[in-house]
């Protein structure tokens, strides 16, 4: 009976010591989290000719860069640019309207273009 009690006490003592040791080790060191918080992208609308709209954009995507590339060459257009024409202002989310223009600043009404948006 005495040997049984001794083995139970020794087992409890070992369990307690290992728990304390693990807590002490866990208290030292560095805890790091990696990853990203991703917000949904902008809703786009390019229904009307040379106008492109972005709606509900997160503030972190402000300052995006646009690049326009023509797919089929149009004789009257030698380069296309995307110009900001309206901005809803500051806030958590914003809306913007862009216009596809040629070198002279005139709206491009014909042709096929691929517009690439690069967010910061």
Helix (H) or strand (E) holding 89: none
Does some domain include residue 48? Answer: yes
With a pLDDT cut of 70, the percent of the chain lying above it is 68
Q: What is the pLDDT of residues 65-109, one digit of tens each?
A: 888 888 776 565 667 888 888 888 877 888 888 888 888 888 888
3-state secondary structure at position 105: coil
CB 51: neighbour CB atoms within 10 A?
A: 15
Name the domain count of the chain: 1
CB 109 within 8 A of CB 63: no
Does some domain include residue 92? Answer: yes
Structure tokens that stand for 47 in this block: 């229904």
Whether the per-residue pLDDT at 8 is higher than 60: the answer is: no
Rg (C-alpha) for the chain, rounded Å, is: 31
pTM: 0.58
pLDDT given for residue 70 in this prediction: 80
pLDDT given for residue 6 in this prediction: 53
Does some domain include residue 113? Answer: yes
pLDDT given for residue 1 in this prediction: 47
Q: Write the DSSP symbol of residue 33.
A: -
Looking at per-residue confidence, does 82 or 31 come out higher?
A: 82
Q: Please, which residues have CB within 8 angstroms of residue 68's CB and are 6 or more apart in sequence?
A: 80, 81, 82, 100, 113, 114, 115, 116
Range of the domain at 74: 43-118
Whether the per-residue pLDDT at 20 is higher than 60: the answer is: no
Whether the per-residue pLDDT at 35 is higher than 80: the answer is: no
Does some domain include residue 8? Answer: no
Q: ∠ CA 31-37-41 to the nearest 5 degrees?
A: 170
Does some domain include residue 29? Answer: no
| DSSP code string of 56-85 | EEEGGGTT-EEEEEEEE--TT-S--EEEEE
Averaged confidence pLDDT in the chain: 74
């Amino acid at each position: 009976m005495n040997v049984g009690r001794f083995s139970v006490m020794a087992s409890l003592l070992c369990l307690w010591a290992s728990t304390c040791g693990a807590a002490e080790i866990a208290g030292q060191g560095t805890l790091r989290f990696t990853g990203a918080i991703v917000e949904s992208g902008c809703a786009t609308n390019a229904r009307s000719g040379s106008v492109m709209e972005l709606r509900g954009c997160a503030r972190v995507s402000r300052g995006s860069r646009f690049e326009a590339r023509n797919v089929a060459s149009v004789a009257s257009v030698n380069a296309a640019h995307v110009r900001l024409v309206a901005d809803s202002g500051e806030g958590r989310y914003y809306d913007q309207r862009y216009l596809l223009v040629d070198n002279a600043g005139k709206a491009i009404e014909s042709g096929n273009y691929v517009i690439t948006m690069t967010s910061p």
